[in-house]
Amino acid sequence: MYSFTRNIFLLPFVQVCSRMGKGTIEAGLCCIPMDAFQGFCRAKTNLYIFERLDPDKENLDLDHDTVTIMNPQTCGIYKNGSDRYVVDANGQRTDEIDNELLKQASRYQSEGGKGFVDVPIQTTYQRDVLVPQYYDQTLEQSFDLLKGKRGFESITIGELCDAGLINVTGGHGSPSNDLRNGSIPYVKVSDIRNMRININPTNLIPVEFAKKVLEDQNGKKQSASMGSHFSKPSK
């Protein structure tokens, strides 16, 4: 194992995948809170910790090796760079800096993966996902609790697709400014706030362009009625 400081990489995902094939294997995944770099950019950052493989790979055991998952929620600062302090049960700020990232990193340095969530390394390969939040069980536990209280049933997006209730198509990017001169609202992700859709009057596209957007990847035109995307499949 490298020393802890030499094990830390802040790399694009493509570079992470590249390193995996060059004598290293992932040992830990850590989510960096958005506040860490939001004063400069909004690019999401993760921290990857690698272990060097022996030349003969004797320290590699794909059947039992695990990847440590860390998902700290704070990093000691707010998005504007000012210090973030721990808030007590009475809602009062204390003198202690709220930096879960540093605490978890220090604990990982001294104790390894003890006390963290461990995911089988085979699972990360099978799912082809190296995003720490993907393996965070906190939201799933809260969701299961809500289901139990309300009597809800859950269904995955994949299951909705298989049932024909929704369609998934490739992205096409936002239309250029010269195409925003029609009557059909073009809704972007940024237009969805607080459970409401905000129609931007400057993002109205022509009908013909809207029809092109609805073409599927095979070139076949989908139904012009959006209701058909959510109708129940025939039995």
Residue 7: per-residue pLDDT? 38
Nearest to 49 by CA among 2, 15, 87: 2
Quote the CA–CA distance of 34 and 92 in Å, as a whole number.
Answer: 24
Quote the CA–CA distance of 220 and 216 in Å, as a whole number.
Answer: 6
Domain limits, the chain: 4-146, 164-218
**Who has greater pLDDT, 18 or 150?**
150
Q: What are phi and psi of 48, to 5 degrees?
A: -120, 135
**Who has greater pLDDT, 98 or 198?**
98
Average pLDDT over residues 19-44: 78
pLDDT of residue 22 exceeding 60, the answer is no
* pTM reported for the whole predicted model: 0.57
Per the CB < 8 A criterion, the answer to whether 53 and 23 are in contact is yes
Residue 94: per-residue pLDDT? 95
Per the CB < 8 A criterion, the answer to whether 108 and 116 are in contact is yes
Q: For residue 162, name the pLDDT band (cuts at 50, 70, 90).
A: very high
pLDDT of residue 56 exceeding 50, the answer is yes
Q: Burial level of 28, CB count in 10 A (0-12/13-18/19+)?
A: buried
Residue 12: per-residue pLDDT? 43
DSSP letter (8 states) at residue 183: S
Per the CB < 8 A criterion, the answer to whether 47 and 9 are in contact is yes
pLDDT of residue 160 exceeding 80, the answer is yes
Residue 231: per-residue pLDDT? 37
Give the tens place of pLDDT for each residue, 96-121. Answer: 999 999 999 999 988 887 888 889 98
Which pair of tokens denotes residue 194?
């607080």
Average pLDDT over residues 17-31: 68
